[in-house]
Amino acid sequence: MFVFANDHGHSPMLHAVCGGRWLAPPPLPDVDVVTALARVDDRRWLVAGRGREGGGWLGVYEPLSFRVDRLPTSSPTFLAAAGLPELGVGVACGLGGSVVWFDGRRLVQATALGESVPLSAASFDGDGRVWCASNGAIFCASHVGDPEWRVAWSDARFQAPFGSLHADDGRVLAMSVDGGVVEGRLDGA
């Protein structure tokens, strides 16, 4: 299955292809912009972005059921999301260092990193650790719902936001929007 979001000057639309056929896009009237999609299991996707009222917007999209269920949140705009389909979990992060955890049924915890930073990229590694990145820093939590984030890397001179983040087996590779690359390994991994 392939899913993507598109904005035709109105409300964003979620498009999905399954078995070589396009599925009908569901309406998203209360969404201003979709910033991230993350697969959380074999049939559902976590949708993150900004609502028309200005705050963060989260939902779970089930293309084969033609539905999107909104998840309640008071967090600011979400910029990134990641999923770990093997465990059926997801995470979304965004402005103000906000992070929310999805356990497959509901949001289980909303936290904010101590720093009030915009988190612009997210990833899971194969061990279930969660990674989020911001301007000049990459953070790691040991598992979904863990309120203890640690700084895995930081450099105040690196000010461009990260646009992508890939983590696997304690290794992380991040690329900033200006082409900068950070690659490293989590100590003890």
The answer to whether residue 133 is domain-embedded is yes
The answer to whether residue 150 is domain-embedded is yes
The answer to whether residue 162 is domain-embedded is no
Per-residue burial over 117-156, b = 16 or more CB atoms within 10 Å of its CB, e = otherwise: bbbbbbbbbeeebbbbbbbbbbbbbeebebeebeebbeee
In this model, does residue 189 exceed pLDDT 60? no
Give the rounded percent of residues in the chain with a pLDDT score beyond 90. Answer: 54
Q: Model confidence at 7, in pLDDT bands (50, 70, 90)?
A: low
The answer to whether residue 185 is domain-embedded is no
Give 19's contacts (C-beta < 8 A, 6+ positions apart): none
The pLDDT value given to residue 188: 63
The pLDDT value given to residue 8: 63
Output the average pLDDT for the chain: 88
Domain range for 117: 2-155
Q: How many CB atoms lie within 10 A of CB 25?
A: 17
In this model, does residue 175 exceed pLDDT 70? yes
Mean pLDDT of 163-185: 91
56-79 pLDDT, tens digit per residue, is 999 999 999 989 999 999 889 999
The answer to whether residue 101 is domain-embedded is yes
**Most confidently modeled range among 22-26, 113-117, 162-166, 168-172:** 162-166
C-alpha gyration radius of the chain: 16
The pLDDT value given to residue 117: 84
CA gap 122, 139 in Å, rounded? 9
90-131 pLDDT, tens digit per residue, is 999 999 899 999 988 888 777 777 667 899 999 999 888 899
Helix, strand, coil fractions of the chain, as percent rounded to 5: 5, 55, 40
Place of tokens 């049939």: 43
The pLDDT value given to residue 119: 95
The answer to whether residue 79 is domain-embedded is yes
The pLDDT value given to residue 142: 84
Structure letter (DSSP) for residue 42? S
CATH, residue 57: 2.130.10.10
Q: How many domains does the chain have?
A: 1
Length of the chain: 189
